[in-house]
Amino acid sequence: MSVAASMMGPMASWNEFDEQAPELAAVARRLMDAYTHKVLATLRKDGSPRVSGVETSFRDGELWTGSMPRAVKAADLRRDPRMALHVTSRDPDRDDPSSWEGDLKLAGRAVEIADAELLASFGLPGTDSHLFRIELTEVAWTRVSGDELVITAWREGVGVREFRRD
């Protein structure tokens, strides 16, 4: 395990997050299921950020993402598993900002799974493809309610908090 990964603190599976924050997990799952394409942030070798398009899936209480063989995002995650995932939504009606579904952000660690049988069960071609299980440190849902920006955030070991800004 890298030094960065060992310093990340407590992690939770998707199922553990769902047990700790069921209302936020339901919203997060709805947004993730509604939008196929997400943005994955990883760290390059020099520590600078890289963003890539990615798709995710849920199976057996876990959040998963995959990658084609030799993809740079996979190399980033193998070297340093810290990651963030951003799920955007449709723009709100300009006359009703509260109609915006909001943005979802998740952060944590991507753990590579090399089991050939599990890779095949996800439909990933060959044994060169990459499969990662996402372990969560935090989840945040940002939206508009009336004249306020509302952020509902969960952090492993802390729980759910809500912030409001005018």
pLDDT digits (tens, 9 = 90+) for 106-117: 999 999 998 888
Residue 103, SS3? strand
Q: In 3D, which of 106, 104, 97 has the Cα closest to residue 166?
A: 97
Residue 111 CA: distances (Å) to CA of 64, 74, 122, 147, 154: 9, 11, 16, 40, 21
Given the DSSP bridges, would you call strands 82-87 and 49-54 parallel, antiparallel or unpaired?
unpaired
Ramachandran region of residue 15, left (φ > 0), alpha (ψ -120 to 50) or beta? alpha
Mean pLDDT within 63-69: 91
Q: Set out the domains of the chain in order of their start, with CATH numbers.
A: 3-165 (2.30.110.10)
Does pTM surpass 0.75? yes
Is the pLDDT reported for residue 20 higher than 60? Answer: yes
Please give the residue that has the higher pLDDT: either 5 or 135.
135
Residue 161, CB-side half-sphere exposure with 13 Å CA sphere? 7
Note whether 150 and 143 are within 8 A (CB). Answer: yes
Mean pLDDT within 79-86: 97
